[in-house]
Structure 1
Amino acid sequence: MHSPFFFDDKPLRLSRFPVKQVNRSLQAWDATDEYLLSHCQEQNLLAGNKTVLVFNDSFGALACNLTDHQIFSVCDSYLAQQGSQYNLEENELNMNNVQLLSSLDELPTQVDVILYRIPKSNALLSYQLSLIANTYHASTPTFIAGAKAKDIHSSTLKLFEKFLGTTTTSLAKKKSRLVFAQLEKTHNTLAHQDCQWSLAHNDLVMNIHNMAGVFSRESLDIGARFLLEHLPEVKANQQVVDLGCGNGVLGLTLLAQQPAAHITFKDESFMAVASAEQNIAENLPEQLSQCRFNADDCLTTEASNSADVIVCNPPFHQQHATTDHIAWQMFNDAKRVLKPGGELRVIGNRQLGYHIKLQRVFSNCKTIASNKKFVVLSSIKR
């Protein structure tokens, strides 16, 4: 859909990614994007040729408006990165001025302006702010952050004060607010990049690493814990996919139970995939060569009829939006990728009604286990 943004007097057409979503009412930009860009324009912060560093640009709304400058866009989301690429190409913008970086890539050495969309995760916020402080303390670029006003708490501002320096805020506009910080501080170590905890399951005791951008990074989430009690039986040499792997604990447990399995770890978070690889390398180093680790849009890059078993704990949100389109895509992708006779095993909150979706996609769905909050479901590709 057309956005309120223009580039060279031409309206930009911005789409969420993936493009074929069930919920088409969700936009690829919001009032925070508008506020950040309008502030830069009003304050003439981008006069001349500038190098701009953008963090957490959901679908390229910021990058697409700034391609007459040198842009570095950093995010932990493969989907956001693909969305930025798609919108840049669809609007026929100058790709030569834009470099899309993952959260694991090195930052450019010199920038003039940093536009920072505040993430939901305080762990990721702390890590990124400490990284910015370490990298740009000496050059002190202009730093502007933004988010919905309701998501900027006093604790949020204390993190900006802690890692960057003097912090102020703007008035709210369209329920969004800007945060301005002076880069006055530097830190010898990055903030909580790697969180570690032990997981005991049956006779297994595993050391789990979670990087800053990983879901439920300080402990095993209760859904995954329930699914661990009801994992499918995997045979030697079978091809298994841990879809939406997070830290990889499901695939790690399956591999510990069946050391001759081949596991593919898939997630849209670059940090999640890196965490999964680290967890296999530390806990099951002899099986590392039997594993693949890929950031992906669900199973888009996987071959059809290639997997024997897929396990999945689907998310029900994308960025700040609650949506079920990811679960739909995961289930449809799983059916395509599974071999005939292959199984998809899923856990979900009872109220999400995944059994209805699975029945529609696979024409079968069996309840494996349930409790007051969760249900474990199984569907077979016929």
Structure 2
Amino acid sequence: MKTELVLHDQQFTLHRFPKRANETLQAWDAGDEYIINHFTETPLTSGSKVLILNDNFGALSCWFSREHQVFLQTDSLISQKGAQQNLQHNQCNSITFLRSTDAIPSDIDVVIMQLPKSNRFLTWQLHQIKTHLNPSTPVVAVNKANAIHTSTLKLFEKYLGETTTSLAWKKHRLVFSQVGTQETATVEQKTNWTVPEHNMQLSNLANVYSGESLDLGARFILEHLPQGSKQTKIIDLGCGNGVLSIKLGRNNPYSQITSVDESFMAVESARINVTNNVDNPERYTFTANNCLDGFEKEHYDLVVCNPPFHQQNTVTDHIAWQMFRDAHHALEAAGELLVVGNGHLGYLAKLTRLFGKGQVSIVASNKKFVILSAKKAS
């Protein structure tokens, strides 16, 4: 796996976060290289204020921090920590970190953007650019050519103005636009919807998974969460919009619940939804974290998890495996990890390897999903 980015007589050592001994995935892609090539051919004025959106692990931040004042905004704590790690390792100049829930500065000279996977999040980011930045501020975005659709370009034209694209290079394409002067429709920060069968009113910020309905895994496990149990110290790991946290709190009114996600918008959505749907939200804690890094060992009696199977645009199971290992570390003796996942992902074998033979059982299953209970040995 390549770790040295070498371009235009510059070299950076870059790693994904968290750094793994047998990493097979690279910390940058050809889109990052295309952006760097473009601004090497058409350089910015030294000292320019550069807003970088969605920099996966800091490759762009490292490059542009050499000569410019960089502001990096991301919705991902993991991306933020990856950028921090790579900036420090390469002894780069310091930059300003912004969460996706923070306002962007108004005096930016250029916006550089890795296009997000979600059109809802892209729409929100374009609206923020239009709302906060001066007219004619240039915007340069990049993505794989087959992921830049006509609908993508129409969003740029709707919220910014005239938009063009580059030729494809290494299967990537650049998008060029700039802040226009035309009036555009207001974009609401939250999407509001209901789950009537569970009497919930939910709000999702723009980058939260499954933005207008329950994902099928969450819908399935909602019917199988423990109720009135002895479990009082509970973690909702990968909480998303907090729907499982709400149900866990309603089912277990004396529990202390920690809602954890690596997405800043997910954590804030969970906070909003718990406040609006649970009678005593003060017993909840909300935190953006890399799985359960830093959580107390052998302290919790229940961890509930609906794991993702991708990191940014990369399909991978290493996040689920890290969640399982971290849960095992955080659970007290006889504590339980409750997991929902697609049946084909092989979680039963993984959990058995971690928790031990005879410690893992199937709680329920349907044609697509399986719910597994893994209990830590006493």
For normalisation by structure 1, the TM-score amounts to 0.94
With over 3 angstroms needed to count, the CA separation of the structure-2 counterparts of 1:293 and 1:177, relative to structure 1, is same
Query: Deviations for 1:332-353, whole angstroms, at most 9, x for unmatched residues?
Result: 0000001111100000001000
| Alignment match of 2:172 (pick from 167, 173, 176) | 176
Q: Provide the residue aligned with 2:133 in structure 1.
A: 136
Q: Provide the residue aligned with 1:124 in structure 2.
A: 121
- Does residue 378 (structure 1) correspond to residue 373 (structure 2)? The answer is yes
Per-residue deviation, 1:94: 1.7
Q: Provide the residue aligned with 1:147 in structure 2.
A: 143
- Does residue 3 (structure 1) correspond to residue 4 (structure 2)? The answer is yes
Contact 1:227 1:347 in 2 (8 A): yes
RMSD across aligned C-alpha pairs, in angstroms?
A: 1.6
Q: Provide the residue aligned with 1:264 in structure 2.
A: 258
Per-residue deviation, 1:187: 5.4
| Alignment match of 1:58 (pick from 56, 59, 63) | 56
Per-residue deviation, 1:137: 3.7
Contact 2:74 2:99 in 1 (8 A): yes
CA distance, structure 1, for counterparts of residue 30 and residue 205 of structure 2: 29
Query: Secondary structure, in 3 states, of the residue corresponding to 1:155?
Result: helix
For 1:205-216, what aligned pairs fall within 5 Å after superposition?
A: 205-216=199-210
Name the amino acid aligned to 1:18: P
Name the amino acid aligned to 2:363: I
Name the amino acid aligned to 2:3: H
Per-residue deviation, 1:188: 6.9
- Does residue 327 (structure 1) correspond to residue 320 (structure 2)? The answer is yes
For 1:346-361, what aligned pairs fall within 5 Å after superposition?
A: 346-361=339-354
| Alignment match of 1:218 (pick from 212, 216, 220) | 212
Contact 1:316 1:327 in 2 (8 A): yes
| Alignment match of 2:152 (pick from 153, 156, 159) | 156
Q: Provide the residue aligned with 1:289 in structure 2.
A: 282
Q: Provide the residue aligned with 2:111 in structure 1.
A: 114
Q: Provide the residue aligned with 1:241 in structure 2.
A: 235
- Does residue 69 (structure 1) correspond to residue 78 (structure 2)? The answer is no
CA distance, structure 2, for counterparts of residue 307 and residue 194 of structure 1: 32
Q: Structure 2: any 5+ residue segments left out of the alignment?
A: none
CA distance, structure 1, for counterparts of residue 316 and residue 217 of structure 2: 18
For 1:169-208, what aligned pairs fall within 5 Å after superposition?
A: 169-185=165-181, 190-201=186-197, 204-208=198-202
Name the amino acid aligned to 2:189: Q
CA distance, structure 1, for counterparts of residue 303 and residue 251 of structure 2: 15
Q: Which runs of 4+ in 1 moved over 6 A?
A: none
- Paired-residue identity, %: 46
Per-residue deviation, 1:189: 6.3
Query: Secondary structure, in 3 states, of the residue corresponding to 1:179?
Result: strand
With over 3 angstroms needed to count, the CA separation of the structure-2 counterparts of 1:291 and 1:60, relative to structure 1, is same
With over 3 angstroms needed to count, the CA separation of the structure-2 counterparts of 1:336 and 1:330, relative to structure 1, is same
CA distance, structure 2, for counterparts of residue 196 and residue 6 of structure 1: 45
With over 3 angstroms needed to count, the CA separation of the structure-2 counterparts of 1:21 and 1:79, relative to structure 1, is farther
CA distance, structure 1, for counterparts of residue 261 and residue 280 of structure 2: 20
Q: Provide the residue aligned with 2:92 in structure 1.
A: 93
CA distance, structure 1, for counterparts of residue 354 and residue 20 of structure 2: 17
CA distance, structure 2, for counterparts of residue 200 and residue 358 of structure 1: 34
Q: Provide the residue aligned with 1:16 in structure 2.
A: 16
Query: Deviations for 1:346-370, whole angstroms, at most 9, x for unmatched residues?
Result: 0000100000110011112100001
With over 3 angstroms needed to count, the CA separation of the structure-2 counterparts of 1:54 and 1:336, relative to structure 1, is same
Query: Deviations for 1:42-80, whole angstroms, at most 9, x for unmatched residues?
Result: 012x23211100000000010000112100000000000
Per-residue deviation, 1:81: 0.3
CA distance, structure 2, for counterparts of residue 357 and residue 110 of structure 1: 50
Q: Provide the residue aligned with 2:331 in structure 1.
A: 338
Contact 2:336 2:376 in 1 (8 A): yes
Name the amino acid aligned to 2:5: P
Query: Deviations for 1:228-285, whole angstroms, at most 9, x for unmatched residues?
Result: 111123536701100000001011101012221111000000000000000011111x
Q: How many residues align?
A: 373
Name the amino acid aligned to 1:2: T
Contact 2:242 2:270 in 1 (8 A): yes
Q: Structure 1: any 5+ residue segments left out of the alignment?
A: none
Contact 1:75 1:81 in 2 (8 A): yes
Query: Secondary structure, in 3 states, of the residue corresponding to 1:293?
Result: strand
